[in-house]
Structure 1
C-alpha cells in the first residue's frame, strides 16, 4: 500500500564510502523516514527554485542571509529549494535542506513533516510569494507580511482602492477578463498601453502596444485571457523609472536608498542600469518617494521587505507596482549602503522592532560611494531571442561597479557587464520615428569617437538635415549588399537600433539584431543605454581610467543605523 504522504531520505553525499550526515533530504514513498528534528523552534524558508530569467542568484542571497539570521536568533532553519547550484543548498547553510519542487503539493508535504513554528515566503521571489495562500490555507503561519496584505498589494482592484484611499497616483488602467474588456480599457485610457498577465514572473509576456491592431495580435498570440487568467492594461507613461527597497515592522519604515534607472520606463527593472544614490533627482522628488513609501508600507502592514517601483512623468510621481517581498536589488542595495536588509527583515518578522535596533522612519543618510548595477545578457546562447529591451526581462545576471564618482562607477559596471564598444569603426544607426530626435546627440558622440555613420533611408534623411554626413544602406528587401550583408561581412562595428513595428522574426529589425548577436557586434536597442555607454567610452578615450578596487578595501561609511538615526 502506498503512503498518502512521502517520507524523506537523506542524500548520500559520501557515495557509500562512509556514513553521510549531511542534512540533505529528498522525498520517497516508503515507510522509513530519516529526518531528525531538534527541540528548538523551527522556521522554514522557501527558496526561489531553479535559477532562470526573472529569478536568479539575488533571491538565493536573500534566502541564505535569512537562514543565517534565523540561526543567529536561536532558531532551527530549514530551506526548501530544488537548485543544487546555489549557496542556499550548501551543506552548512541550513539545519536541513529539502531538494523538492517549489509547488504547493511538495511544499505542504514537507511542512506537514516538519511542523514548523512559521514559514518565510518573502525571500524567494515571486515563486515563493505565490505559495503563501496555499501554505496559509493549510494552517501554517506565514511570518512577516500577512497573506491578506500580500493579496492587497498584488490584486489589481484592491490595490487601486488602497492607492485611492492613500491619495497616491498611479497610471490609469484596469483588469481585462476578456479580449473585449482589454479593448474597452485601452480605448478609455488611450494608447500606448502596457499589457501583461497578472502575477507574472520577470515581466513574462509583458509588452507595450501602440494601437488596437497590435493589442488584438497580443491577445491572440501572447496570452490566454479568461476570468481565471486576467490581463492588466495600464497607460504607458514615458518617464524616468525609480525604485525603492525598504524594511518595515509595520510602524518604522527604513529606506536604505533610492535607485534611479538609466533607461526610461518601459524597460524591465531587471534589464535596466540602476544608480544609487540617484544623480538626476531633486530633493522634492526624493522626499515625495519617501512619503509614499512610508504610507504604503504602513497601510499594507508590511513586516519585512517591500519593493516599490515609481515613474516620474511630466513632473508627477506615479506608483507602478508594489512587491511585498525581497527584490533582485536587495543584495546590491545592502552592499553599497551597509544596511543588512535581509538580516533586519528576518529579525522583524520574528518580532523585533526596528526602533529597538537604533533605526527610525525615513531615508538612511546617503553613502559617499556611488554604485551602478548593470545587467548581463546571454543572447549568444539563447537562439531566436530578440535582443531588444522592453517590459519582458531578458538579462541572466548583473554586476555592480562602485566608486567615489559616477563616471568611475559606471565605467566599472560597463566593463564588468561586457558593454565595451570599439573605439572607432563603422556604426549603423536605424531608429524608429519616435526616437529620431534623441538619436542625433548619440550620433554626434559617435562622430567624436571617430566612427563613420551608416543609416537606413529614414534615419539618414533625418541625420543629413542636421548636417551629419551619412552613408545610406539598403534594407533587406532592397537588393544587395544590404544591412545583413554588411553585418555578416564584418563591415559594421556598432549598431544603434530601436523597435519600429514589431519583434517578429520576419521583421528587418529582428534579423538585424540577431545578425549582430551572431557576429558579436554591440547592439543597443535603448538610446538611454547607448548614451551612458558612449559617455564611458568617451571618458576612456580622453585618458580617464580607474583601477578596480574590491568593495572591502573602501573606507566603509559609518554605521547605517547611526546614519538613519541622525
Structure 2
C-alpha cells in the first residue's frame, strides 16, 4: 500500500548532545528521515538540542525546536504543534527513552499523537531485559542463563547460581552504561550499585558469562506487511566481553557457515515480529560458542543505531531513509533503491567486497582512566574502510585512525617490540585499543596461531589473514625500495600495506615509494558501491580504491591497466577533505562545515567530490556530494583519488586538523589548494 493519507504532521525526536555511545550517526539518520518525509509531502517538526548537526539546519524540517530532549519540553512542542504522529526510532536511546516517557505519562493519548515505527509495547519488549528474555523463550530461542536484580542482595544470590564471572546489564541504558563483567564479589557489588542507579527501571540483568564466544549482529528491515530483509551481517573481531561499539567489526561476517547464517537470519526476522517492531530498522546481536556451536540471542535494539549507520555505508542501503518511509505506510517493495534506481528495497543487499570498522578512543585525554575494554562502551568515534579482501580493508582501516599509526606495521608506538614474551602474552590477553598491535607483534615473533587464539579468543581465520599481512611485510624488511619488483609491490598493496609502511620497512621516504610504485605501473582502480555485487548498474558515484582486478596489457608489459568504474564530468571539480573519525576536539561540527561546503560549491557550478572515512556522518551519505570516496585521509590515499579525478582544487580548511596536516604535502605535489594557502595555514598554526 502507498503512504498513509491520515498523517499530515510528523514529530521527529533527535538525540541531543554527542556523548560516548551516541554520536553523529543520529544526525545522519535523523537528517535522512527529515529529508525523505518532506519529499513525500509531510510537515516535519523536529526537536533536537544539538546546534552542530545538519538536522537542526533551518531548512531541513518545517519547524525546528532547539530544546532539551525531555518529556517536559517535548510535551510543550506537542501542545503547540499538535502533530499527528511521533517517530521515535531515529534519535538513539535518548529519543527512544523520551518517547517511552511521553507514552507512559499519558501525553501522547492526551493530544491524540500516534507513535509510528514502533509502539510502546514493542519498545519495552526490546529494551527491558526481562520482557525480552520471556519473548525469546516463547519463540524457542535461547538466551544466557540469568536473573534480575533490584538490589545488591538480589545480584549476589543470582551470581551464586550462574557463577563467576557474570555479565551485568542494566535495563534502558545507553552504550552499556552501568554494566560490566564481575569476576569477583567485590566487582559485582561495585558494578551492580552503579547499574541500579543508572537504570531508569532500577533493574540489572545478571547473566552467565559468555566471554570468549563469537559475536555477530544482523541489521534487519521490516515493513507493516511482514516483509523482512537482512541488510547486512556484521562480525566482531573481538570475542564476547567487549562492547560491539568498541570492537573491530567486519561486514559481511567472514567465519559463519551457511547453516549458521541462515539460523541467525530466520531468528532475526522472527525476533522483530515477536517483539512487535512494526516497521523500520533494528539490529539483533547473537553469540555463538566456538566449541559447541550453541547459539544464543544477546539483545536487540528496536531502533536505528550506530551499527545501522555502518551497515548503510557498508552496503549503500539507506536504512534510516527506508525506515522513515516504512513508518508512514510504504512497504519494502514500493521503495526504490537510490543506488541502482532499478531494484526495490526488498532486494536484499549483496556486496562483493569487505568492510572493516575500527573504533577510535581518547584515553590519552583522561589520565588514570582504565583502558581495558568491557561491555561498557568507551569509543568516541570510528572509521570504516572498504577493500576487495579483508586484508586490504583491514590495512586501510588501521591507517585511517589518525593516532600515529601508518597501518599494522606499528613499530614501537606501543612498545610491543620491547616486551618480554610473558609481558606480550598478557598484552595479547587484555582487550585494549592497542591489543591488535600486540597480536601483530606475536605473529611477527612467529607464535603459533593456536597459541594466540587460546590467549585472546580472536578467531583463527582472522589471525591467519593478519599473519599473511605480517609475513608479506616482513619479506621486504631491510631491502631497498629499488629491490621490490612490480609483482612484489602489487602483492604488498593487495595485502593492505601503505606506502608509508613500505617506506618505514625499507628506510625510505613515502613520496619516493609512491613515485617508484607508479613507475612500476602499480596503481589502484576505483570500484563502485552498488548494493548488488554489480548485478545492476549503479546510478550513484560512491567509490572505494582497490588493488584487486589489475591486469597487464600484455605478458611482457611493465605497466598495468587499472579499470576504473568512475564516469567523466563536464563541470569543474572541487574536492573536499573530511574530518575523519570523531575524537575529542574534532567532532561533528567539522562534518557540518564540509557538508555545507559541498552544497555551496555545487550551487556555484562545481562537481563536488567528498573524501572521508567516517561512517557516522552526513558527509559520507552518498547523495551529499556528486562523488563520494570512502578512503583514509592520508597523503597516499588522497593523492590516489586526485590522480583519478584531477580536481580543479582541493578544500582543506573545513575538516579540522586532519586535512590541514596534508595541505603542505598536497601543494608540493602540484595540487591546487582552494581558499587559505598552506603558507598562511602554517603561519596561523
**Aligned residue number for residue 310 of structure 1:** 286
1:274 aligned to 2:249? yes
Aligned 1:487-506 pairs, distance under 5 A: none
Contact 1:424 1:450 in 2 (8 A): no
Is 1:330 paired with 2:308?
Answer: yes
SS state at 2:397 partner: helix
1:256 aligns with 2:234: no
Cα deviation 1:507-557 (Å, max 9, x = unaligned): xxxxxxxxxxxxxxxxxx997899587765554454512699999852634
User: SS where residue 270 of structure 1 aligns?
Assistant: helix
> Contact 1:196 / 1:232 at 8 angstroms: preserved in 2?
yes
Q: Secondary structure at the match of 1:545?
A: helix
CA distance in 1, matches of 2:241, 2:302: 21
Q: State the alpha-carbon separation in 2 of the partners of residues 123 and 550 from structure 1.
A: 37
Name 1:509's counterpart in structure 2: none
- 1:157 matched to 2:130? The reply is yes
Tell me whether 1:407 sits opposite 2:383 in the alignment.
no
Is 1:198 equivalent to 2:146 in the alignment?
no
Within 5 Å, which residues of 2 pair with 1:442-521? 446=441, 449=444
Contact 2:172 2:199 in 1 (8 A): no
- Partner secondary structure for residue 264 of structure 1: coil
Aligned to 1:285: 260
Would the alpha carbon gap of residues 227 and 332 (structure 1) be closer, same or farther in structure 2, given more than 3 Å must change? closer
**What residue is the counterpart of 1:166 in the other structure?**
139
Give the CA deviation at 1:133: 2.2
**How far, CA to CA, are the matches of 1:336 and 1:403 in structure 2?**
11
CA 1:334/1:533 → structure 2, altered by over 3 Å: closer, same or farther?
same
Q: Indicate which of 156, 160, 172 corresponds to 1:187.
A: 160
Q: Distance in 1 between matches of 2:187 and 2:347?
A: 42
TM-score w.r.t. length of structure 1: 0.72
Partner of residue 366 from structure 1, selected from 341, 346, 350: 350
1:416 equivalenced with 2:400 (yes/no): yes
Residues 392, 40 of structure 1: CA spacing in aligned structure 2 closer, same or farther, 3 A cutoff?
closer
Equivalent position SS for 2:218: strand
Question: Residue 217 of structure 2 corresponds to which residue in structure 1?
Answer: 243
Partner of 2:191: 218
Looking at structure 2, the residues matched to 312 and 322 of structure 1 have their Cα atoms a distance apart, in angstroms, of: 16
Residue in 2 that maps onto 1:27: none
Instruction: Pick one of 71, 75, 83 that aligns with 1:116.
Output: 83
Change (3 A) 1:412 1:404: same
Where does the alignment leave 5 or more consecutive residues of structure 2 unmatched? 1-5, 337-342, 476-488, 499-522, 538-685
- Measured in 2, the distance between the counterparts of 1:55 and 1:283 equals 33
- Work out whether residues 410 and 536 of structure 1, in 8 Å CA contact, stay in contact via their aligned partners in 2: no
Q: Which residue of 2 aligns with 1:511?
A: none
Hey, what does 1:320 align to over in structure 2? 298
Residue 377 (structure 1) aligned with residue 361 (structure 2) = yes
Distance change in 2, residues 1:551/1:318 (3 Å): farther
Compute the displacement of 1:394 (Å). 0.8
Match of 1:545 in 2: 493
SS of the aligned residue for 1:87 comes to coil
Structure-2-length-normalised TM-score: 0.60
Closer/same/farther in 2, CA of residues 269 and 70 from structure 1, 3 Å limit: same
More strand by share: 1
Q: For structure 1, which runs of at least 5 residues remain unmatched after alignment?
A: 1-38, 452-462, 469-495, 500-524
What's the CA shift for 1:558? 3.5
**Which of 397, 412, 418 lines up with 1:427 in the alignment?**
418
